[in-house]
Amino acid sequence: MIAVQRTVLITGATSGIGRASAELLARRGWRVFGTHRKPADADALKAARIEPVRMDVTDDDSVRAGVAALEEQVGDAGLYGLVNNAGATLNVPVEYLELDDLRWQLDVNLFGVLRTTRACMPALRRASGRIINVGSIGGRFGAALNGAYGASKSALATMTEALRCELSFVGMSAVLVEPGAIQTAIWDKGLERADELRSKLPPEAIERYGPLIDAVVTFTKQMAAGAVPAERVAEVIERALTSKRPRPRYLVGTDARVLATLRRYLPDRAFEGLIRSRLRKAIG
């Protein structure tokens, strides 16, 4: 009997966790489709044996067109795996969080997952496929300047849990992968966006939150310096795709496991005090 090659679509495949996962699965015999937004990125994906799919997860028409192109390629065999990885972050005090910025954060990290998942469901059903959503340990608690990002990832975790329950009735599954600090460009992009947002804050916001913002930036750089390679997450994503009985959630990184344990067993006041003490040290 000839083995059927498994197919997977990975969003945000041009860098970071998405790129590492796409390259790993391609090396291990999967047929990998990876999304990109810029035409110039298509050649780089092809060079890594990743079939490019131009798609912006925040745009309905783009998602429909991208999935239509994918459907032509996979045909009746369908799609075995969907890895919703595309994501972004912003850091701003909740008091000064503009609704448009919050909508952008949710559009990328939550609504984009829903758009892509819904569009891919016919192909996933044909292969009794599996959905992997890339969340974050930051979705388990609220931290200073992390309200928008944490809210998006917390909502994603809840939506994934509901989806997993629903899909269990039709022989499919959904898994949440929760990385801690990972070596990706999201750190630099997040800091760049933080600088941009800070430049738009009124003077009183800088007076009130300036030292805290500096502390979060310092703490973020410290976390980035100790981040683990994106390949670690790629290995976990492959495990989640191939396991006969995948876990509902996979934590990636020592920091993610430690924070999850502390969040589970410490009272709220004690956990929040621990987070605040780390920031106070960064303030100096």
What are the tens digits of pLDDT across the range 152-184? 999 999 999 999 999 999 999 999 999 998 887
Identify the CA nearest to 231 among candidates 2, 28, 7: 28
Mean residue pLDDT of the chain comes to 92
Residue 143, phi then psi, degrees to nearest 5:
-130, 160
Domain containing residue 15: CATH number: 3.40.50.720
Residue 1 has pLDDT above 50, yes or no: no
| Structural domain boundaries, residue 111 | 7-283
> What predicted TM-score, i.e. pTM, was given to this entire model?
0.93
198: in domain: yes
Residue 191 has pLDDT above 70, yes or no: no
Contact 206, 191 (CB under 8 A): no
pLDDT band at 190 (very low <50, low <70, confident <90, very high): low
2: in domain: no
The DSSP output letter for 46 is: H
66: in domain: yes
Average pLDDT over residues 92-120: 96
Average pLDDT over residues 247-273: 96
1: in domain: no
pLDDT score of 266: 96
Residues noted as catalytic: 149
The total domain count for the chain is 1
195: in domain: yes
| Sheet of strand 130-134: strand arrangement | 51-54, 31-36, 7-10, 81-84, 130-134, 173-179, 249-252
Place of tokens 């200073």: 144
271: in domain: yes
pLDDT band at 5 (very low <50, low <70, confident <90, very high): confident
At 109-146, the pLDDT tens digits run 999 999 999 999 999 999 999 999 999 999 999 999 99
* CA–CA distance, 274 with 66 (Å, rounded to integer): 44
77: in domain: yes
Chain Cα centroid distance, residue 265: 26
Average pLDDT over residues 175-194: 79
| Bridge partner residues of 182 (DSSP) | 228
pLDDT score of 23: 98
Contact 176, 165 (CB under 8 A): no
Place of tokens 């390629």: 73
12: in domain: yes
pLDDT score of 2: 46
H or E segment and range at residue 132: strand 130-134
